[in-house]
Amino acid sequence: MPRQQELQQKPATTGKQRLDCPICDYRVNPNDESAFFTFPCNVRAFLDEKFKVWRCPDCQSIHCLDVVDLDRYYAKFPLFQAQLTSSYRVMFGNLRRQLTQVGFSKSCSLLDYGCGANGLFVRYLQQCGFTRACGYDPYGAKDSFGDPAILQREKFDYIISQDVIEHVEDPHAFLGKLNSLLSPGGYILLGTPNAANLDLNRPDVSDHYHFVHVPYHLHLYTRQTLEFLGRNQGWEPVRFFDRRYDDTRWFGFNPRAVHTYTSLLDGSLDVLFEPLKIGKAFTSYKFLFYAIFGYWLSFRSGMAIAFRKSV
């Protein structure tokens, strides 16, 4: 292998490591190899790269060991290619129902914090008549969802942050920021993988490595640790959802079916944002099985918690 190509395939680490749990301050021994599990990256540009993770023995949260140059990895992030398709509308219907179960209505203001550069859920809500829904993403374009002026308009009745907290280095500072944007008595919905249901001994299984999602996911939480973080902000947990919003009864619309489909190709997330390979999918008995029964065989690897801020 040419030296230049070899260097390109090495993880872009900074030399720093995450040795301390941000929840309970447990410190892992970097020399204890038995404490670490190695997972592959699930983004096509970096499939040959592997990263170590560790589980805190005290609170069961999971942490990615090496601090990397995330700008390099996000430059090839496939989610940026997503469009508001009928598939997303089906799944976003679940996400909207989670919000309405804690009182969200068309008269309420809502901020989708970390909405992505394309703000798909915000666009979905606005098309459904939720005209006071808006979104912000610090990595978005300044003339669109990356405009910080959005955050200065008002305190919001509802905030949703789906699949964001696991991407941030300091969860306390992140939730403190959200707290400053939330109206007294307002609600916040946090969606994230559930560390308690991820098997670190199976890095070869797509149902686990897609949620561990190295090196993008920095910290993964259990229900207990996420509730702990929320209570530290003065929020009261009011509703727990033990499934991801994309875990539905619709044919093929559940994580087990989706992950099986990626495994039929190169195993990367990228295949989900490319034209469907119908021949691959419908000639796989395993895919068809999970497309039908995956909802009932769910590993429940994702969760969401609704909190209410005190008045």
DSSP state of 195: G
Tokens standing for 306?
């609704």
pLDDT for 48? 96
| Average pLDDT along the chain, 311 residues, taken 10 residues at a time | 46 88 96 97 97 98 97 91 91 97 97 93 97 92 89 94 97 98 98 98 95 98 98 98 96 96 97 94 97 97 97 92
- Spatial distance between the Cα atoms of 136 and 116, rounded to a whole number of angstroms: 8
pLDDT for 9? 58
List domains and CATH numbers for the chain: 3-77 (no CATH), 79-247+296-309 (3.40.50.150)
Angle between helices 223-232 and 171-181 (to 10 degrees): 50
pLDDT for 71? 92
pLDDT for 305? 98
**Residue 146 three-state SS:** coil
pLDDT for 5? 43
pLDDT for 6? 42
Whole-model pTM: value is: 0.94
